[in-house]
Amino acid sequence: MLKSKLKTTDLHGVITALITPFDQHSNVNLTKYDELISLGWAGGVSGIVALGTTGESPVLNAEEWLAVAKQAVSSSPAGKPVIIGVGTNSTATTVKNSFLASDVGADGVLVVTPYYNKPTQAGLERHFLMVADESPLPVILYHIPGRSGVGISLELTLKLAEHPNIIAIKEAGNDVWRSSEIARKASNDFVVLSGDDNLTLPLLAVGAVGVISVISNIMPMPFVKMIDAMLSDELIQARDWHQVLSPLLNALSLETNPSPIKEALNIVGLEMGQVRPPLAQVSESTHESIKIALNELKNLL
């Protein structure tokens, strides 16, 4: 039995992977966070994810983490899904974070593959099952081998999908066929979400039902229109939106996320601050690429 109101039917369309704004002194800026969240809801997003990698969770201290989680919930309308990134490379800490997410009123948790430890598939199975057994909230797996150093095999994904408290996977492994197989073979109680804005259209074509998105921090409405068109079988319209957004999608992938999306938000005057070390502000060439792409889309801002 699921331990929260969050259901697979809530996981559709565009779910924004929120950045965490900082002020000029690199302190968390909750006022700007509220502004960013409101922008997304006004743009029609279906849900939000706070404290994922895009939210720079590895460089937040415990007090900041909790404050951001609370703000994500308090800034969101009742009934709208709020998912908190709780994954770490410690199973015990991940479980603890899931309880903290529940305490602040979140609806679900995003659990990334443990990074640096590089567990075997047996270790991953042990980790995710322990988290799912203990978590008071439904679990969304996060498969991103390029950043965590290890991926969840297709076979293990399908096995984990049978757990009643594991309801979805965020797929960021650049593998359309794999996503297709998960969507085809897993039960209807388990869904695939794209974790890569650039590949969302093909992933939706093979069975994904939505995306945990970066670009929707700044372009929620156009990206929602693209996803909604695709989910409504309006393929030409979805393709046209994809092509309109492609220059910005490309610019936002030139350097490590979330440096480019923060730069984009700052360029348009939303003043979300810079990334914390060990990340760095984007290069001048990347800045120019983002600026050019945004200028082409200024009528959509």
Choosing from 170, 185, 225, 298, the catalytic residue is: 170
Question: Catalytic site residue 116?
Answer: no
Strand partners, 191: 168
Residues 6+ apart with CB under 8 A from 260: 251, 252, 253, 254, 282, 286, 290
Residues counted in the chain: 301
CA distance 248 to 182: 29
CA distance 78 to 45: 14
Cβ atoms 21, 272 nearer than 8 A: yes
Choosing from 142, 185, 225, 298, the catalytic residue is: 142
28, 118, 241 from 60: Cα distances, Å? 9, 23, 35
Strand partners, 192: 169
Cβ atoms 115, 87 nearer than 8 A: no
DSSP state of 86: -
Question: Catalytic site residue 170?
Answer: yes
Residues with a catalytic annotation lie at: 142, 170
